[in-house]
Structure 1
Amino acid sequence: MTHPVLKYIQGYPTNIIESVERLVANDQLVAWFEQRYPQRHDIQSEKALFQYTMALKNQFMKKTAPLSKVVWDGKIHLINHALGLHTYVSRVHGNKLKAKNEIRIAQIFKSAPEPLLRMLVVHELAHLREKEHNKAFYQLCCHMEPQYHQLELDARIFMMVQELKGAAA
């Protein structure tokens, strides 16, 4: 791997890495991505993000623990090298322990295509039932979003595109 943006696809099969590497080398990745995903979603507020997430949760995971918060987070990518986080926050209220599930989505995805946002939300929702990235977790992700694996790769390419655009600016 020669170009630094290729770090986002480490671990993918060689043929995928080589294809993306060719697009990067020929300065074609941004154009290819923008042709593939010409539209960006319009979910900008945290209220809209919460409603979007709850619609997916209610469609696929009605019987899971409630969500207390879904927010855009500007620090996730920098700190955790993640695109989203599911947190389980426990607080003591009097003599009771209250637990809250929260989802945080990397702020960079405010400008992403809707399918990539959906993939991230599905991923974080799946953590309500499956804490680990195991077979059951990915089966649940694919149940909620049949194109999950392709969209996960495309989300990584989106990160590459954002970095390339930033370097060009």
Structure 2
Amino acid sequence: MQTLTYLQGYPERLLTQVRSLIETNQLGDYLDRRYPGRHEVQSDKALYAYVAERKQAYLRNAPSIDKVLYDAKLDVVHRTLGLHTAVSRIHGGRLKAKKEIRVASVFREAAPEFLEMIVVHELAHLKELDHNKAFYQLCEHMLPDYHQIELDLRLFLTWRSRREA
């Protein structure tokens, strides 16, 4: 039986369907039909503007974001797709926290829905630090199909890891 690293915790019925798609080489076709496009957000500057636009639309009162970038060092194998950090620095006599969002560079080549899901996830951490009910409600508010896109993103990562193996 295949281990589906990105799909741990999902019901066995779903895992059986995914294994069937993998065995018949149809997982890539499923993803191409469902997510045919690729986004245009290729530079760190464009990514910053993309994140700032979504933050302004949904989280105007949240702390500002100082830095947004694609990060080739984020390891999707260890399930880090994006990262939200607050880097503390001493500025004069005060301690200042700089908010950063880093997105795994694999998402430069992904469907726009996948990039949006990662950005929404990291933005939600500005309000809710833990993955609790309020966190996922906020994600759903910003991206109504959040849970389906997250599942499909995990399918994409599964397909990608099988293709590279």
Q: Deviations over 1:110-161 (max 9, x none)?
A: 1110011101000000000000001110110000001000011111111112
Residues 79, 33 of structure 1: alpha-carbon distance in 2 compared, 3 angstrom cutoff: closer
Structure 1 segment 49-68 matched on structure 2, within 5 A = 49-68=47-66
- Tell me the SS of whatever aligns to 1:129: coil
The counterpart of 1:17, out of the listed 15, 19, 23, is 15
For 2:76 and 2:51, the matched residues in 1 are separated by 23
Instruction: Work out the percentage of aligned pairs sharing the same amino acid.
Output: 47
Does residue 3 of structure 1 match 2:32? no
CA RMSD of superposed structures (Å) = 1.2
Query: 1:110 is aligned with what amino acid?
Result: R
Query: 2:15 is aligned with what amino acid?
Result: I
The structure with the greater share of residues assigned to helix is 1
- Cross-structure match for 2:113: 115
Q: Deviations over 1:25-67 (max 9, x none)?
A: 1111111111111111111000000000011000000000000
Does residue 105 of structure 1 match 2:126? no
Q: After superposing the two structures, state which structure 1 stretch, 74-83 or 129-138, moved more.
A: 74-83
Q: Deviations over 1:1-46 (max 9, x none)?
A: x224x11101011221111110011111111111111111111000
For 1:19 and 1:77, the matched residues in 2 are separated by 27
- Tell me the SS of whatever aligns to 1:92: strand
Name the count of aligned residue pairs.
165
- Cross-structure match for 1:153: 151
Structure 1 segment 84-103 matched on structure 2, within 5 A = 84-103=82-101
For 1:152 and 1:109, the matched residues in 2 are separated by 13
Query: 1:113 is aligned with what amino acid?
Result: A
Query: 1:142 is aligned with what amino acid?
Result: E
Runs of at least 5 residues in structure 1 that lack an aligned partner in the other structure: none
**Pairwise CA distance, 1:78:** 5.2
**Pairwise CA distance, 1:80:** 4.6
How high is the TM-score relative to the length of structure 2? Answer: 0.95
How high is the TM-score relative to the length of structure 1? Answer: 0.93
Query: 2:2 is aligned with what amino acid?
Result: H
- Cross-structure match for 1:165: 163
